[in-house]
Structure 1
Amino acid sequence: MNILLTGGAGFIGRWVAKQLLGDGHLVWILDDLSNGREDNIEEFKDHKGLQAFIIGDIKDEALLDKVFSENKFDICYHLGASINVQDSIDDPRTTFNNDAVGTFYVMEQCRKHRTKVVFMSTCMVYDVCLDDQGITEIHPIKPASPYAGAKIAAENMVLSYYFAYDLPVVVIRPFNTYGPFQKTGGEGGVVAIFIRNNLVGKDLLIYGKGEQTRDLLYVEDCANFVVEAGYSDKVNGQIVNAGLGSDITINELALVIAKDEMRIKHVPHIHPQSEIQKLLCNSTKAKELLGWTPKVSLEEGILRTEKWIQSSHLM
């Protein structure tokens, strides 16, 4: 198939690109490099399946029109977005324009060219999980940050194209994803930041009490879920979750990585009003409709991520 991948130079995007290319498709990557990095896709630059790497903005309607008109895409995996919760609180305009308005421009091209859409949303749209059964797709949502609000707006826009125009679309909500190629600095994920700080002998800093929990999904499992959602017609018009199916407190995660309580410090939370105290995924729908289940345990995923950070000299 001919596939457009927005945000393909990002952390999850590069793993999606890797699987799509490995599956034999022709892939065009569009990324403005605000979050992504060219280094992330260096591995694929000579791959015969990679048709183009376009540095561009999804809000550039002329560019989108040109890219869609020149190439008949079967699927658009739309991962391009602003993804930082704190940035969205500090600058909600940029996040809304990228995540909601930019998605609208992508949807208009997909409607015009009858291109299936896989829209990457987030578990951050959910309200807190209240039990150990996990969050299903009908769990209440709560836009606790402008990031979550923009994603909810974009989700509704995407789904409206299914009902109004019979366009095949699917909204996916992966839970907190980690692994190789995730940034290890302040804008990276908690696992990557903890591992890097542990390797260089720094303290592991936890926002607040550290009792908040996360369902941590290894990036290759996440990418497989993303790709499979595009291949299947069973999820058209649906919202689908993906997670490991078990959660861990941030305190427990820090101890797993540092193995020394003295290295763990608590600091004031930078956005307590947008914190979700318990996130635990119920992926039953993904298993039933896509046959998808995660394969990499948290322990194995942490080991793989640590090896990658060491080998990439990101310490």
Structure 2
Amino acid sequence: MSQTVNGNGAVSAPRNAPEETVAARLEKLRDARVVVTGGAGLVGSRLVALLRQADAEVTVLDRLDAYPESAHTALFGVENLGVRVVVGDICDREAVRRVIADADFVVHAAAYADVAACTRRPDIAFRANVQGTQVVLEETAASKARRLVLVSSAAVYGDGDPAIRGPQVFHEDQRLLPVSVYANSKLWAEHQTRLLLGGPDGPEYAVLRYFSVYGDPQIPKPGSHSWMVAWLSMQARLGRPMRLNGGGVQVRDLVHVEDVAAATALALIEERMAGQTVNVGTGVPTSVREVGELIAPHFPRSRFITTPMPEGDPLGGYAATDHSRELLRWKPRIDVRAGVERYVRWLTATPHAVPGWLAAEPAA
């Protein structure tokens, strides 16, 4: 094991020294008070569990209406993690003020986070993703919090550069061309975060652009075309054809929820993340059809059908990962093959996870 001496005579870390674990790095959050808006959902619940493992004091602010109540308790289980759960709306200024008043850190993950639903109801998207975010930012700016992490989305990239055909890599500093109501609301949230936070006397901020998050216990929502691992897996389990919108040529950067939770927790404490925007993705493009082909061997009756491309569904791309490696000191550990297999195993062992409305739908 070799060491290197730099020009100042200091000894650097051994070149093949093991990486500091996420758990070791998160020890900085011991006894810290962390507020997580939207903390009872898929990413939020995994994040909260990780924060609790680091002995942080966690408060969740969530309306608990994104899924049926039974799903929040039986699947996400944040109520059982030893945290304070406040059932409330981020548009309720008094509720937000109460939970943030004594916070050291804030993760703003609450959102109307469904592309199709935002297209159908832009009024709800505006209230949740714009008005609610404004309240959270103002109350954080007025608090003694050290940093807010804003959960944004790769949807802000839209279809990327229209001159490029096929999959393209999305860089944090490229021109942003959102193609949906949801993406537009997330881009506004990014700009507003930069305007209101990060001053010399106020809280810092960091922005994370999540790519396609998946993993158990993710379940589909009615009328949605997101969460393709969950959608395709459940259709296959029900013995129905896996629907490939537009033939399944769209590319996604699938990043497992456990990796996303780790990245989000690290964004609270990594010094170089202050004022930065970073992709949270794998840097590996995967087509929708490829995902279906990973699922199919687990369900002997699997087959595919091609359906029209939904409005606002981006053609897709994948994350540039230089910033996440350098500023966040993070890289994903679960590749898509392993992640899809985990999901299918969980679904097979948890048959009640298939929503009743989905099981009752007539086969295509």
Report if TM-score (shorter chain) is over 0.5.
yes
**1:189-228 alignment runs, 5 A limit:** 189-228=227-266
Whole-angstrom distance in 2 between the partners of 1:153 and 1:46: 34
> In angstroms, what is the RMSD of aligned CA positions?
2.0
Give the aligned partner of residue 6 of structure 1.
37
> Which SS does the other structure have where 1:231 is aligned?
coil
**Structure 2 CA distance for partners of 1:133 and 1:84, relative to 1, 3 Å:** closer
Give the aligned partner of residue 180 of structure 1.
216
- The aligned length equals 309
Comparing 175-184 with 38-47, greater Cα deviation is found at: 38-47
**Structure 2 CA distance for partners of 1:53 and 1:204, relative to 1, 3 Å:** same
In the alignment, structure 2 segments of 5+ residues that lack a partner are 1-31, 355-364
Deviations 1:85-127 (A, max 9, x none): 1111111111011011101100111111132210000000103
Deviations 1:158-207 (A, max 9, x none): 11123556430011101000001211354461001111111221110111
Q: How far did residue 270 of structure 1 move?
A: 2.6
**Structure 2 CA distance for partners of 1:41 and 1:132, relative to 1, 3 Å:** closer
Whole-angstrom distance in 2 between the partners of 1:224 and 1:288: 15
Structure with max Cα Rg: 2
Instruction: Answer whether contact 1:159 1:171 (CA < 8 A) is retained.
Output: no
**Structure 2 CA distance for partners of 1:127 and 1:145, relative to 1, 3 Å:** closer
Instruction: Answer whether contact 2:239 2:301 (CA < 8 A) is retained.
Output: no
Give the residue type in structure 2 aligned to 1:154: A
Instruction: Answer whether contact 1:214 1:279 (CA < 8 A) is retained.
Output: yes
Of 87, 105, 126, the residue aligned with 2:135 is 105
Give the residue type in structure 1 aligned to 2:196: Y
Instruction: Answer whether contact 2:296 2:302 (CA < 8 A) is retained.
Output: no
Instruction: Answer whether contact 2:73 2:79 (CA < 8 A) is retained.
Output: no
Instruction: Answer whether contact 1:56 1:63 (CA < 8 A) is retained.
Output: yes
**1:163-174 alignment runs, 5 A limit:** 163-164=198-199, 166-174=202-210
Give the residue type in structure 2 aligned to 1:210: G
> Which SS does the other structure have where 1:294 is aligned?
coil
**Structure 2 CA distance for partners of 1:211 and 1:133, relative to 1, 3 Å:** closer
Give the residue type in structure 1 aligned to 2:37: T
In the alignment, structure 1 segments of 5+ residues that lack a partner are none
Give the residue type in structure 2 aligned to 1:138: D
Q: How far did residue 256 of structure 1 move?
A: 1.9
Give the aligned partner of residue 93 of structure 1.
123
Whole-angstrom distance in 2 between the partners of 1:42 and 1:176: 19
Of 91, 106, 111, the residue aligned with 1:76 is 106
**Structure 2 CA distance for partners of 1:41 and 1:211, relative to 1, 3 Å:** closer
> Which SS does the other structure have where 2:283 is aligned?
coil
Deviations 1:195-233 (A, max 9, x none): 111122111011123211101001100110111111112
